[in-house]
Amino acid sequence: MRRIFFVFCMLTGTAAFAQTDSSASNLLNELEGKQPAAAQKKAAKVFMSHRLINANTTEMLTKGHLEFKVVHNFGDIGGTFGGVKNAFGLDNSTDIKIGFAVGVTKNLNIMVSRNKGFGNVTQLWEMAAKYRIMQQMENDPSRPLSIALFANGVASSVKHSLDSTKEHFYPTTSSRQSQVLQLMIARKFGKILSFQLNPTYVHTNYVVPGDVKNIFAFGAAIRVPIYKQFVFIADYFHPFRSGGNTDNLKTKYGVNLYDVWGVGLELVTPGHVFHVNFTNTHSILENRFLTRTTTNQFRWGFTVARDFVLFKNKKKK
């Protein structure tokens, strides 16, 4: 069953944050409260980006558009591995993601990415899909929410270890794989607040002895405009594990696990939506940061993306 699920994710194969030059001006107008009359009768734009810091959002890439995205997490700002000697983390990179997304239909995006990875599990390849189930309408009480579903399949191509106590001990090809299924439920409250819940399920095909393969996590995300194109964003995830599991990982492997959080500033400019983030996780993919966030140390990160027209929607005038 796990193999079937992974194949499905690979075939359906993360979205990001940029808009075309023509649409970016509309985003700036929305931040300033200058929505055109026609837009007021249509779908609400809950978020300006397809991902905040660590959380996906319900927003979709426009049909026929191709998006190129770069996500970068730097090293620790302070502590043993941070400080002035490492330029407060800027000298190091813990994870890097380079990806492409395509708007196949109005409600379906397909994504592929390459991720540096962190720790022993590196050289990660991701294929993912996001499908929008419902979109919030501004003047329609029957459509009060935006709801979307995200699924991915990730495989590591790193050289495997011969030590079964290491995460990259891969006795079979399927041992290299992991999968995520995430539901996103979002709502925009007036022009002030956007809020979202992200219940998430993670399955890892191989885990070290004493760890668990299946983890459920509950996340939340928020977006609050500060001034014009400057916006405060934050998200948080709590992975649910038994006390026995966390104690075993700490005692046997010296692994301390933490909840995942991030805060940042979103800047909307013509052609781009740019994020500068602070987060406590090294990793970018849900498959990793929900299972192996081992520090509460701050680190810088950023996300930048660019939207290109791949093919035009003939039905759209």
Tens digit of each residue's pLDDT (9 = 90 or more) over 250-301: 999 999 999 999 999 998 877 677 888 999 999 999 999 999 999 888 899 9
Six-digit token pair at 157? Answer: 């191509």
Query: What pLDDT does 299 receive?
Result: 92
CA distances from 161 to 95, 115, 210, 250 (A): 21, 20, 18, 21
Q: Domain residue spans in the chain?
A: 2-309
Q: Which of 43-52, 79-88, 145-154, 222-231 shows the lowest mean pLDDT across its residues?
A: 79-88
CA nearest to 61, candidates 110, 26, 21: 110
CA nearest to 170, candidates 155, 187, 190, 151: 155
DSSP label at residue 97: E
Taking the C-alpha atoms of residue 192 and residue 297, their distance in angstroms, rounded to an integer, is: 30
- Extended strands (E) in the chain: 65-76, 93-105, 108-118, 121-134, 146-156, 177-189, 193-204, 214-227, 230-240, 260-269, 272-279, 299-309
**Cross-strand pairs, 300:** 278
Query: What pLDDT does 13 receive?
Result: 37
Cα distance between the two ends of the chain: 44
Tokens 């779908």 found at: 43
Fold of 2-309: Porin (2.40.160)
Query: What pLDDT does 26 receive?
Result: 52
Query: What pLDDT does 111 receive?
Result: 97
Percent of the chain with pLDDT over 90: 65
Query: What pLDDT does 314 receive?
Result: 65
